[in-house]
Chain A
Amino acid sequence: MSNKILSFKNISKSYSNIVALEQISFDIPKNSIFGILGANGSGKSTFMKILPGLIQNWSGEIFHNGKFVEKNNIKLRDKFGYLIEAPTFYEYLSARKNLEILSRISPNHSLDIDYILELVNLKSRSEDKVSAYSYGMKQRLGIAQCLIHNPEILILDEPNNGLDPNGIQDMIKLIKNLRTEGKTICLSTHNLRDVEELCTHFTVFQNGKNSKTCSMEKQIKNSKTWIVNTKDIDSALEKLKNSDIFEVISVFNKNILIESMEIQSLDDIHEILSDIEIYKISKESNLIGYFDASKTDS
């Protein structure tokens, strides 16, 4: 049986003479955290609105568990939880009332509102009007409304947008927990760290097209970029510059960012820096490369 829970084939969308999406195709594996990476205006949000039917006239095909999904398939929406763009609620109502409204139109297997509020750490503020909430709280409530009908796939559009570092950490933890509960998560972001820290797979959007789809494991394996964290930065720099294998890209704090000509192993770096005290060597995903390319293209 296929591991793909969701497949998109040749998704295109135009607004009068502007092409927003062009022949987007990729597969989302089951129980993955799938990142859609792209610069602002690359078409991520437009794409996110296609599946829930917020955008009507588009072309292409979507498959769920290998089965073709008809456009505006209402029943299928039960299997998805959406957080599209900034979290928006009926601000004059309490968080609980907002969830009650959404629960009422969700399928019968809706989860208990108290349980959901507890999960996103909002139970103590559940009777407050949403207008009194901070952005981070609204974002967490956004996740809560996604979960109310216990969907198998969560579609999150920039879930970390506007959050402070603590909020981002909470969100990352929450998303990872949801994956351990068996859910598949598809999130869009322009933040490379989100993808590196969270995603098991990713695709890159550039000017309405997706250029690359890959697992994060494979991306890191194929990466030629490393960060060396060392005590003796000058000696390490000299040795790396003198080696034929590595090129020094940049130096920051006690870190040296290097790139190899070929795919190298950790042992190669240890061999060159054998007599230098090293704190840590880590391989970088080098997602920035795609991002720069997308900026250059546009």
Chain B
Amino acid sequence: MLAKLIHNELIKVLYKRRTYISFLLITVLIPVIVYAIDYGAVSLQNKIYGQMQDSFIFIGTIINGNLAAYLIIAILITHMPFLSTIIPSEIISGEYSKGTFRLYLTRSITRRAVFFSKVVVVFIYTTIMMFYFFFYSLFIANLMLGPGELIVFHKGVLLLSEDDVVWRFFLGCIFSNLVMLTIAYLCLLFSSFSKNSVTPIISTISIVFVGTAISFIPIDIFELIDPYLFTGYIDIFLLAFYYPVPQEVFVQCLVVCLIWTILFILVGYLNFSKRDIVE
């Protein structure tokens, strides 16, 4: 039955226009940014050279597809929480407000199965969106600017060879997706309480904003709690390009995100299973 419910949820999501907003934005925005990077390559290179020209002599250019993709993802990753709330925000609240649960929940299906089919669909949507964001950026950037070695700053200058880049993007993508999934499930939790799809988005983004602020404000108490907040890992993608990769931080991110995710899903389920459908 769960497979049939997932099938239904996928149809509901696929036929909604809002599903495609994030994909449309990513599709349009990335080539524009890559073009802008290409257009301003000389100026960008001078800025990067400017910091290193006393120590290094570069032959050729450091601006290439890998660097462009790295910069694009580093800049846009902090905005991805907003896109990851688009579907979960209304996957439950939308059915409350439109009254479609009166159709759906009167069938011989359990609320548990309905809720978990929605959990699965949120997983599918967020994961596809994040992989699309990462690898579309990489593909378009490489297509427009060509491949090359990636220069990043970590304990000085780190030059990563072409062969050493793709798996790092993949690692960054997996863990960024884990954080975005946690945010999406936080939004799903709010969706189970709300009667409209705006409140879950506002609530989720507010929490992400506060959490991110905690990560950036260098106060002892904040530094103490930051490792336990999923919001502290939104930019974990950057750590995939460190040498060596800080495995302990990735493990910590995995544990923290899983705990928060389980908590959000559990509370959301308990609320959903007990709620009267009076709308």
Give the nearest-CB partner of B94 in chain A. Answer: A90
Residue among B15, B108, B278 with most chain A CB within 10 A: B108
- Cα A149 to Cα B109 with chains together (Å): 13
> B276 touching A54 by the CB < 8 A rule?
yes
Per-residue B-contact encoding for A91-122, CB less than 8 Å = 1, 0 else: 11100010001101111000000000000000
Q: How far is the CB of B17 from chain A (nearest CB, A)?
A: 8
Given B1, B98, B105, B276, which contacts A91 in the complex, CB threshold below 8 Å?
B98
Flag if B275 contacts A56 (CB, 8 Å).
Answer: yes
A86 & B99 in contact (Cβ 8 Å cutoff): yes
Contact with A along B98-140 (1 / 0, CB 8 A): 1111111111111000000000000000000000000000000
Q: B11 in the interface, Cβ–Cβ < 8 Å?
A: yes
Within 8 A of A (CB), among B1-58: 1, 4-5, 7-8, 11-12, 15-17
Interface residues on A, range: 20 to 34
User: A97–B107 contact, CB under 8 A?
Assistant: no
A55→B276 contact, CB < 8 A: yes
Which among A54, A56, A78, A82 has the highest number of chain B CB atoms within 10 Å? Answer: A54
A63 interfacial by beta-carbon distance below 8 Å: no
Q: Of the candidates B8, B17, B102, which one forms a contact with A84 in the assembled complex, judged by CB atoms under 8 Å apart?
A: B102
Q: Would you give the shortest CB distance from A11 to chain B, in whole angstroms?
A: 15
The answer to the question of A182 belonging to the interface, with a C-beta cut-off of 8 Å to chain B, is no
Decide yes or no whether A60 CB sits under 8 A from chain B.
no
Q: How far is the CA of A54 from the CA of B11 in the complex (A)?
A: 23
Whether A52 contacts B276 by the Cβ 8 Å rule is: no
Contact pick for A54, options B8, B16, B17, B106, CB 8 Å: B106
Known: A84-B102, A88-B99. A54 touches B277 (CB 8 A): yes
Q: Which residues of B contact A49 (CB under 8 A)?
A: 276-278
Contacts of B104 in A (CB 8 A): 102, 105
Q: When the two chains form the complex, which single residue of A92, A105, A145 contacts B15, counting CB atoms closer than 8 Å?
A: A92
Q: How far is the CB of B77 from the nearest CB of chain A, in Å?
A: 31
Contacting pair B108 A77 (CB below 8 A): yes
- A239 to B107: give the CA distance in the assembly, Å: 59
Quick check: A74 and B99 within 8 Å, CB to CB? no
Contact assessment for A88 and B100 in the assembled complex, using a CB-CB cutoff below 8 Å:
yes
Indicate with 1 or 0, residue by residue over B242-276, a CB within 8 angstroms of chain A CB atoms.
00000000000000000000000000000000111
Q: Which of A19-52 contact B (CB under 8 A)?
A: 46, 49, 52
* A66 on the B face (CB < 8 A): no
Looking at chain A's contact residues, is the secondary structure mostly helix, strand, loop, or mixed?
A: loop
Chain A positions 107-148 with a Cβ under 8 Å from a chain B Cβ? 107, 145
Question: How many positions in chain B have a CB within 8 Å of any CB in the partner chain?
Answer: 28
Query: Which residues of chain B are near A196, meaning CB under 8 Å?
Result: none
Which has the most chain B C-beta neighbours within 10 Å: A92, A101, A107, A149? A101
CB pair A82–B15 under 8 Å, yes or no, is: no
B277 smallest CB distance to A (angstroms) = 4
Q: State whether A82 and B106 are in contact (beta carbons under 8 Å apart), knowing that A56-B275, A101-B12 are contacts in the complex.
A: yes
Give bound CA distance, A233 to B278, whole Å.
51
> Could you tell me if A88 and B8 are in contact, using CB atoms closer than 8 angstroms?
no
Of the candidates B16, B103, B275, B277, the one having the most CB atoms from chain A within 10 angstroms of its own CB is B103
Evaluate whether A93 and B15 lie within 8 angstroms (CB atoms) in the complex, with A104-B7, A105-B109 already known.
yes
**Taking A84-B102, A105-B5 as contacts, is the C-beta distance between A78 and B108 under 8 angstroms?**
yes
- A49 and B276 alpha carbons, distance in the complex (Å): 9
Q: Does A290 make an interface contact (CB < 8 A)?
A: no
B residues near A104, Cβ cutoff 8 Å = 4, 7-8
Across the interface, do B107 and A102 meet the contact criterion of CB distance under 8 Å?
A: yes
Residues of B within 8 A of A97 (CB): 11, 15
A61 at the interface (CB under 8 A from B): no
Interchain nearest-CB distance for A86 vs B (Å) = 7
A107 vs B107: C-alpha distance in the bound complex, in angstroms?
9
A residues less than 8 Å from B106 (CB atoms): 52-54, 77, 80, 82, 84
Q: Do residues B105 and A52 form an inter-chain contact, with CB atoms below 8 A?
A: yes
Decide yes or no: A145 and B103 within 8 Å by CB, A90-B12, A105-B1 being known contacts.
Answer: yes
**Cβ of A57: which chain B residues have Cβ within 8 Å of it?**
274, 276
Given A52-B105, A55-B278, do A74 and B8 touch, yes or no (CB 8 Å)? no
Minimum C-beta distance from B8 to chain A (A)? 5
The smallest beta-carbon distance between A232 and chain B, in angstroms, is 53
Q: Which residue of B is nearest A100, CB measured?
A: B11
By beta carbon, the residue of chain B nearest A88 is: B99
- What is the bound-complex CA distance between A102 and B276, given in angstroms? 21
B100 touches A85 (CB 8 A): no
B4 touches A53 (CB 8 A): no
Within 8 Å CB of B4, what residues of A?
Answer: 104-105
Contacts of A67 in B (CB 8 A): none
Closest chain A residue to B274 by CB distance? Answer: A56
- What 8 pairs across the A-B complex have the smallest Cβ distances? A88-B99, A52-B106, A54-B277, A82-B106, A77-B108, A84-B102, A55-B276, A104-B4
Q: Could you list 14 examples of A-B contacts with CB < 8 Å?
A: A52-B105, A54-B102, A54-B105, A54-B278, A56-B276, A74-B109, A75-B108, A77-B106, A85-B102, A89-B103, A91-B98, A105-B5, A105-B108, A105-B109
* 10 more A-B residue pairs beyond the given contacts A90-B15, A101-B8, with a C-beta to C-beta distance below 8 A: A49-B276, A53-B105, A53-B106, A56-B274, A76-B108, A89-B100, A92-B15, A92-B16, A93-B11, A105-B109
